[in-house]
Structure 1
């Protein structure tokens, strides 16, 4: 009888000890500290404020469009709608655009030519990384080997060939054109590309990037891939 009572007492003490250990551990487990320095926090805050400002600008443009619709007579509503449609087409890259920018030549490295290496197409991963670097700044537009790159475009390796939206990109040399919203933005991107590791990454694949200095006017052709309307329906008057 005593042995049975002693076993129960031991079990109860074990459970109580386990619960106390869990409680002590939860009370003494410190939440992870933010170890970033002040400049890193300020940089993130600046990025968030920039996004907030861009969203406010988009809302302001939409409000102005709504005001124009409501203030225009029915006869001019079609004109306002066409202006909005043209703007959206331009933003989507369907129309040619001209602005400040620069041209980048992608060419085989001198060493690969001197040693007679086979010149291969640029890999889709490398080109995608380049595009991500360019798109770190908002508003930049691209044309890759004469093919407009838009939000509807995609990059793939198909049968050993680099393609943009299904169109084969030439084996280097070829040009990449970049147009920015302003001259200041173009110069900032230009300096960024000169200082980032993207040139080294191309060189590791036996390619050299030659980046021309920013110009006032660079023209990109419109995207010719077409657009498939799957959901919008034209409403007719009865």
Structure 2
């Protein structure tokens, strides 16, 4: 009888100890704290405010377009529609554009030439990384080896050749042109490229980037890839 009582007492003590251990763990488990410093938080807040401002600007432009359609008589509706269409073509990169920017020459490194290394095309991964660096500042337009890069463009390695939207990019040297919304934006992007590690990444592939200083007028050609309309249909008057 004593042995049975002793066994029950031991079981109860074990259960009580287990519950106390769980409570102790829950009281001493602290939630993950945000360890970022004040400047990191301010920078993230600034980026969010910038995105918010850009969205408000887009909404304002759409409201102005709708107001133009509503206020314009039928005779001017076609002109308003054409202006809207031209603006969309420009945003999509179908039309030439001139603005402040700079030119980047992608060329083989002097060492690779001196040692007689074979000059390889730029890899699609490296070019994609470069474009991501450019896109850290919104509103920039690109032309890669005379080929306009737009939101409809893609980068691929095809049979060992770098292509942009199916067009082969020349083996270095070739130029990349960048146009920014303003001269101030162009200078900021220029300084970013001088301080980022992207130049080191190109150098690891035996390539160097020669970045010219920003100027007021850089011209990019329009995209010649065409546009396939799959869903919209023209409505004709009966």
TM-score band, normalised by shorter chain:
over 0.9
Deviations, residues 63-92 of structure 1 (Å, cap 9, x unaligned): 111111111112211211111111111001
TM-score (norm 1): 0.94
1:33 maps to what in 2? 33
Q: Distance in 2 between matches of 1:19 and 1:34?
A: 31
Give secondary structure in 2 for the equivalent of 1:42.
helix
1:51-90 equivalent positions in 2, closer than 5 A: 51-90=51-90
Deviations, residues 156-190 of structure 1 (Å, cap 9, x unaligned): 11111111111110000000000000011111111
2:119 maps to what in 1? 119
Q: Give the drift of 1:231.
A: 2.4
1:1-238 equivalent positions in 2, closer than 5 A: 3-4=3-4, 6-238=6-238
The 1:221–1:13 alpha-carbon spacing in structure 2 relative to 1, beyond 3 Å, is: same
Q: Distance in 2 between matches of 1:54 and 1:8?
A: 70
The 1:16–1:229 alpha-carbon spacing in structure 2 relative to 1, beyond 3 Å, is: farther
Deviations, residues 131-159 of structure 1 (Å, cap 9, x unaligned): 11111001000000010000111111111
Bigger Cα displacement from structure 2, 14-23 vs 155-164 = 14-23
Q: Distance in 2 between matches of 1:109 and 1:45?
A: 40
Q: Distance in 1 between matches of 2:12 and 2:78?
A: 82
Bigger Cα displacement from structure 2, 223-232 vs 96-105 = 223-232
The 1:169–1:9 alpha-carbon spacing in structure 2 relative to 1, beyond 3 Å, is: same
Give secondary structure in 1 for the equivalent of 2:102.
strand
Give secondary structure in 2 for the equivalent of 1:118.
coil
The 1:235–1:7 alpha-carbon spacing in structure 2 relative to 1, beyond 3 Å, is: farther
